[in-house]
Amino acid sequence: MKKRILLGLSAAIVAALLAFFGPDLLGLYRLDRYISASTVAYDADGRQWPHLTDVCIGCHGVKGNSQHQAYPSLAGQPAPYVAAQLHKFASGERPNATMGPLAMTMSETEINHLAEHFARQPVGDNGHFTPDAGFLEKGKQLVVSGGCAACHGSQLMGHDQFPRLAGQGYDYLLAQLDAFAAGTRSESTGMMKGIATTASPEERKAMATYLASLAPQK
């Protein structure tokens, strides 16, 4: 009970912080100081809650289960994948106006703490998504015939450097497939570019619909 009240309070504080800081650079500088201070506190209290992951709640949801289709859920995402993405945001290899400056402020220790924390969180259903029936069937065919499970895992829950796709936000998934197609996001196997460019914009919507509608295996 006490924890729940604290959690509620923490979410309110983060919301207030985000409203106050806004997306500008000064805000990110303050956010950096907040993250550093939180990390010190996190280590000092034996890594007990609350800690630096509070900063992420406003966009990625409580315990990394996002309530918004455009913000990715981080819960249950493999730790090596999360750490790799934070490095890619920091280096600019994966350009993003929000995550880039934020990741740049993180130390190696902070990146590892964050990655391990989110990998451990229980994964929730993508309950706020209502799939289009036509896209759903088409998307299922494309995902099965496209062999996505070979890399993303038999249940599309991800492992190692391969992200979980099952139950991820629709707008986020579609934006990533479009980014691979446009070349603004890339990965070393080149597979994602091939998949995204071969698929038409409608087919990308269909794949995102099917993946977003999948119940994550817990």
Distance CA 142, CA 29 (A): 43
> Which residue matches tokens 């509608």?
213
Please pick, from the candidates 36, 67, 161, 217, the single residue that binds ligand HEC as defined by CB under 6 A. Answer: 161
Q: Is 98 in the site for ligand HEC (CB under 6 A)?
A: yes
Please pick, from the candidates 146, 159, 171, 178, the single residue that binds ligand HEC as defined by CB under 6 A. Answer: 146
Q: Is 175 in the site for ligand HEC (CB under 6 A)?
A: yes
Distance CA 156, CA 37 (A): 36
What sign does the CA torsion over 124, 76, 71, 150 have? negative
x/- mask, ligand HEC, residues 44-63, rule CB under 6 A, reads: -----------xx-xxx---
> Which residue matches tokens 């890594």?
47
Nearest approach in angstroms of CB 23 to ligand HEC is 7
* C-alpha of 24 from chain center: 21
> Which residue matches tokens 């998949």?
195
Q: Is 82 in the site for ligand HEC (CB under 6 A)?
A: yes
Nearest approach in angstroms of CB 133 to ligand HEC is 19
Please pick, from the candidates 62, 90, 123, 177, the single residue that binds ligand HEC as defined by CB under 6 A. Answer: 177
Smallest CA-to-CA distance from 181 within 203, 165, 199 is with 199
Residues constituting the chain: 218
Residues forming contacts to ligand HEC in the complex (CB under 6 A) are 55-56, 58-60, 71-72, 74, 77, 82, 84-86, 96, 98-99, 102, 114, 143, 146-148, 150-152, 161-163, 165, 168, 173, 175-177, 187, 189, 191-192, 195, 207
